[in-house]
Structure 1
Amino acid sequence: MALPNVEVIVIEQTKVSPPPGSVPTTSLPLTFFDLPWLLNFSHMQRPYFYDFPHPTNHFLETLLPSLKNSLSLTLQHFFPLAGNLRLPPPPAKPHILFTDGDSVSLTVAESTADFHFLSANHPLPVRAFDPFVPKFAPALVVDGTRVEPLLALQATVFPNSGICIGIRRNHVVSDGKAFHHFMKSWASICNTGGDLITRLDRELRPPSHDRTAIKDQYGLELELLNAWWSTTLASARNDDGDEERPVLDCGTIDNVRAPFILHRVQIERLKSWVTNQLANDESSSSFHMSSFIVTCALIWVCLAKSEERNSALNTDKDDEPYYFAFVAECRSRLEFPLPTTYFGNCMKICFAPVKRKELLRENGIVAAAKAIGKEVGELNEESLKKFENWMMKFKKIKELGWQHVTVTGSPKLGVYEADFGWGRPKKSETVHFSDATTISLAESRDEKSGVEVGLALNKDRLSRFGAILEETLTHLA
C-alpha cells in the first residue's frame, strides 16, 4: 500500500519559550529511572489529528496565536521540555539543563494530503505519518558536551479539513504519564485561557520536579552510569556530534500500520473466561486479572499464531522462550511513593516468558495471561526488585535471537483527552515503531473501557492476524 506523494509546505518555523524570567536556571539530574532510556531508546513520536473544517488563514490568524501563547504558559510549569539534554564526557553525569530563553521548536505547515483518509481507522503505510512529525534540530557539541533538544512540535493544517499536532519527544525527559500530563495541560490552557494553577482542575494540577524524592536504595544509578560511560567511550571515535540518534526501532518500510479496537464487552468476557480457567490455579492468586493483562495476552497469542508456520526454523524455535516486555508505572508502588504529578520517568520494564509452543496451544491466552500476571504480581510486591538486570535481560534476548514483543503506550494515559478547543482528537497513534516486535496501546476514543491496539505488520500477516483475532473473540462471545 502506498500513498501518493505528500506535499508539506512549511509556513513558519519558530521557537516557543516560557515567559521571560518565569523559570530560573535549573539543572535536573537523570535518575536511575531516566538512565535506561538514555541507554536503549530514543525518540517517541505521535501525531494527533483534529477535525477543523476551515481554511488555513483562519487557523493562522485565530488559533495559532492562542496555540503559541498557551504553549508558553504551559512550558513555564513543564520547563524541562524546553531545556536540553547535556551529555558531558565521562566521568561527568548527563543531566537536563534549562536556562532562561531555552525553547521548544514549533513548525507550522500546510498539506494537501487527504486528511480524512489519514485519520480514518484503516491500514496505512508505516511511514504515512512521517511528514507530520517534526525532526529534531541536530545535536551540538559545546566544549566536549553533547547538547540535544528534548521536544519538537509541528502543527500541520489540511485546508478545510483538519489539523495535525505532531510530537517528537526524547524519552529520557519523561515517561508517557508525565508527557500526557503536559499535553492535556497545554490543551486545557489553549481551550480555556489562563494560567495552569488557576485554570486546571485537580487532576491536571502543576507537575512536581523534585528529583530528590527518588531514593536510590540499591545503588542503581551508579550501575547505569557505568553502562552509559562504557557506551560513550566505546562510540567516541565515531561520534561526530551532529547525527540524530536512532528511534526505537527501524522496522520494515513496506509494512502497514493498523489499529484494532477491543470493546469493553469483549474485554470483560475475556477477563471472565481467563479467570474461570485459572480458578483452581493457586499460583495465579497473587495478581488481579486486569484489562491490561488479558488484552496483552490476547494480542500476544494472535501475533504468535499469525506467523508463518511452514519453515523448519520456526518449528525449531517452538521450545524457546517467547518474551513479552512491558513497562509498569511505579509512582504509587515504591517504598518512597512519588506524587502522581511527578514529571520524569518512573517505570520498570518487566519480561514475561512463555514457550512459543504454549502460546500456540488452545489455552495459549491463559498461559500468556498467567505469565504477564505473575510479573505484575511480583511488581506490586517489590517494584525495584532486579531493576538493574533488565538491560542485561534485553541484551541477552536479542543476542540469542529469542522472539519478543514490547508494548508502548497505555490505555490509562488519556490520549484522547487533549482538546485544544477543536474537539477531541479524531485519531492519534504511536508511530516510532514499524515492525511486529512492538505493539501500542491507548484507550478507545469512542467507548469507555475499550482499548485501541496499534500494530505494524506486512499485509499478509496483518490479514492473518485480523482473522485470528476475530475468530478468537467470536469463540468467546
Structure 2
Amino acid sequence: MASAEQKVKVVEHCEISPPPGSVPPTSLPLTFFDIPWLLFSPSQPLFFYELPHVSTTHFTTIILPNLKHSLSLTLQRFFPLAGNLTTPLHPTKPHLVYTEGDSISLTVAESTGDYFNHLTGHYPRHVRDFHHLVPQLEPPTVSSDPHTHPTLAIQITVFPNCGICIGFTFLNVLGDGRTFNNFLKSWASIFRLGIDSDLPVLNQFYDRSVISDPNGLEPIFLEEWWSLRTSQKEFMDTSRMGLKDMVRATFVMGPTHMEKLKQWIRTRSKKIFGSPDLHLTPYIITCAFVWACLTKARGIDNKEVCEELHYFGFIAGGITRLDYPVPTNYFGNCVAFGRPVTKRNELLGEDGIVFAAKSIGETTKKLDGDVLGGGKSWISDGKVLLGSELHVTVTGSPKVDLYELDFGWGRPRKIEEISIDRSRAVSLTESRDVEGGIEIGLALSKPKMDAFASLFANSFNDLL
C-alpha cells in the first residue's frame, strides 16, 4: 500500500470575524447537554471537492475573497464559532463568550503533490497522509481566570488541477452535528447564492432557557467535570496512542445488504430469544454489524473472560425525544448518550450481530421513552468507552446529510473524520453514492483493517 506522504505549504493565514458592529458582546452559559463535551477531543472533518481546473492563483484571487466574505456574513449569525470557550478556575459554569473583534483562524495551503484521488479513495490509506490537511486550534490562554479556548479553526488546501479540501477543527461543546451542519449549509448557501437569496436556517436560536433540566443533571456534570479537570485527567489521553502503523478506510453498507441482514437477524432472533420482534432500523443494523465485526477484527478472543461485558457508545438526538419543544435552529448540543452492553462470548459467537442488534435496539427504545433517564451516568459511561480497544464508540450520524454541502462545486467527493485516528471511534455518515446507504469510517492498524475488511466482505456470504 503506497503512502501519499502528504505535504502542504501555507499560502496565507488570516483571521475572519463577523462584520464590525454586527454582533453585540454575548455570553452563553453551557447547558447540561453541553458540559459532557468539555471532556471530548475536537472533531476534525475534512470535505474534499473536485475542481479539476483550479490553480492556486485562481483560487486565491477569484474564489477565496468570496469565501472569506461569505464566512464573515455567516459568522454574524453563528457568532459563538468566532468567540471563545471560557472555563473558570473555580467550579462555576463555563460559557461561550463573544466580544467585538473575536475571530476564527483561516489557513490557506497548497498541496505539494498530486494526491487528491488517493486521499478520496475508500481503500486503506495511512492516517498520516491526512494530518497536514487538519487546521490547528490556537492554544488556550491559561494565564488568567477564566481560561480562554478558541473553538474553531479552518484550513483550505488547494490540490492544483484536482480540487480542494476544506478542513475543520472545532470543539464539540459548541453544538451537535445539527448545529454544525446548519453553519456549514448557511456558509455554502451565502457563498453560492448571495446574502439576499432565500437561504436555509440562518438566524440561530440562542435562548438557553429553552433547555429544561428536570433530572438535575447540570450540577452533577459540573462536579464531575471539575473533579476531572483539577486532577488533570481527560476522557482521552491520546499522547501515547501510536499512529505509525495505522490506516483509515471506508466501507459502505447499502440498503440491500441492510434488508437481507435484517431478515437474517429476525430469523436467528426467533430461534435464540423466542421472538423476532426486535427494533431494527438501518442505523441499528449497521451499528450491530460494525460492533460484532470490529470486536472480532481486533482479536479480542480471550475465552477465560468470556463473560466480560462489552459496551457500545452512540449518541441519540434529543430534539425529537424531549417532552418539550426545542427549535431546530437552536444553537448548542441537544443529544443524549446510549451505552448498550453484551457479553464477550455472545458478541464473538456466530450470532454476535443478533446480540448486538438486540442490545442496541433495546437501548434506543429506552431513549425513545425517556431520553434523559440514564443521564446521570453519561460522563462516567464515557470514561469507560472512549479510547478503548475493548469497547466500540460511533461518532456522526447518517441523518445529517453532509454530502449535500454544496458551495457551487457540486457535492463533496469524500468526507473523512480525522479525530477517529486517536479516539478509536467509528465514524458514520450517509453514503454519497448509494441511496439509503451508510458510510463507515475506520482507523485501525493494517492487520486489523484487513481482518475487518475480510469480515465485512464475507459475512453476507457466510450468514445469508
Asked if residue 299 in structure 1 is aligned to residue 283 in structure 2, the reply is: no
Q: Secondary structure at the match of 1:184?
A: helix
Aligned-partner Cα distance in 2 for 1:176–1:387: 19
Alignment check: 8 A CA contact 1:326 1:406 kept: yes
Q: Residues of 2 paired with 1:341 and 1:355: CA distance?
A: 40
Residue 408 of structure 2 corresponds to 421
Give yes or no for contact 1:35–1:172 (8 Å, CA) kept in 2.
yes
Q: 2:250 aligns with which of 256, 259, 275?
A: 259
Q: C-alpha displacement at 1:45, in angstroms?
A: 0.4
Residue in structure 2 matched with residue 216 of structure 1 by the alignment: 213
Deviation at residue 143 of structure 1 after TM alignment: 3.3
- Which residue matches 2:97? 97
- Deviation digits for residues 31-75 of structure 1, max 9, x if unmatched? 11111011x212110111111122111111111011111111111
Alignment of 1:155-166 (within 5 A): 155-166=156-167
Contact 2:386–2:425 (Cα < 8 Å) also in 1? no
Give the AA of the match of 1:122.
Y
**TM value normalised by structure 2:** 0.93
| Structure 2 match to 1:242 | none
Counterpart residue type for residue 212 of structure 2: K
Which of residues 307, 321, 325 is equivalent to 2:313? 325
Partner of 2:170: 169
- How much has 1:346 moved relative to structure 2? 1.1
Q: Distance in 2 between matches of 1:3 and 1:371?
A: 39
Any residues of structure 2 matched to 1:238-249 within 5 Å, and which?
A: none
Distance 1:19 1:352 in 2: 46
The CA deviation string for residues 127-160 of structure 1, in whole angstroms up to 9 with x for no partner, is: 2211011001121135322111110000110111
- CA distance in structure 1 between the aligned counterparts of 2:304 and 2:245, rounded to whole angstroms: 27
Over the residues paired in the alignment, what is the CA RMSD in angstroms? 2.5
Q: Write the distance in 2 (CA, Å) between the matches of 1:325 and 1:456.
A: 17
User: Following TM superposition, by how much is the alpha carbon of 1:420 offset from its aligned partner in structure 2, in angstroms?
Assistant: 0.8
Aligned match of 2:199: 200
1:386 aligns with 2:400: no
TM-score, structure 1 as length reference: 0.90
Q: Residues 246 and 421 of structure 1: is their aligned pair in 2 closer, same or farther, counting only changes over 3 Å? A: farther
Shift of 1:474: 2.6
Q: Which residue of 2 aligns with 1:274?
A: 265
User: Between Structure 1 and Structure 2, how many residues are aligned?
Assistant: 460
1:25 maps to 2:22: no
Contact 2:84–2:151 (Cα < 8 Å) also in 1: yes
Amino-acid identity (%)? 45
Contact 2:206–2:331, Cα closer than 8 Å, also in 1: yes
Matched with 1:129 is 130
User: Relative to structure 2, which stretch is displaced further, 25-34 or 54-63?
Assistant: 54-63
Confirm or deny: 8 A CA contact 2:179 2:330 kept in the other structure: yes
Q: Which residue of 2 aligns with 1:44?
A: 43
Paired position in structure 2 for 1:7: 7
Which residue type is aligned with residue 75 of structure 1? Answer: L
CA distance in 2 between counterparts of 1:223 and 1:85 reads: 20
CA displacement at 1:273 relative to structure 2: 2.6
Describe how 1:307-322 pairs up with structure 2 within 5 A. Answer: 307-308=298-299, 314-322=302-310
User: Deviation string for 1:90-127 (max 9, x for gaps)?
Assistant: 13321100112211110011112311111122211122
Paired letter, 2:158: V
Query: Which among 440, 443, 449 is matched to residue 462 of structure 1?
Result: 449
**Residues in 2 aligned to 1:116 and 1:402: alpha-carbon distance in whole angstroms:** 31
User: Which amino acid in 2 is paired with 1:353?
Assistant: V
1:209 shift after superposition: 1.6
Closer, same or farther: CA 361–458 of 1 in aligned 2, 3 Å: same
Shift of 1:343: 1.5
| Match of residue 72 from structure 1 | 72
Gap regions ≥5 residues in structure 2: none
User: Which runs of no fewer than 5 residues in structure 1 stay unpaired?
Assistant: 240-244
Q: How far off is 1:315 after superposition?
A: 2.2
3-state SS of paired residue (1:338) = coil
Q: CA deviation at 1:397?
A: 6.1
Offset at 1:250? 4.1
CA shift in 2, pair 1:396/1:74, >3 Å: closer
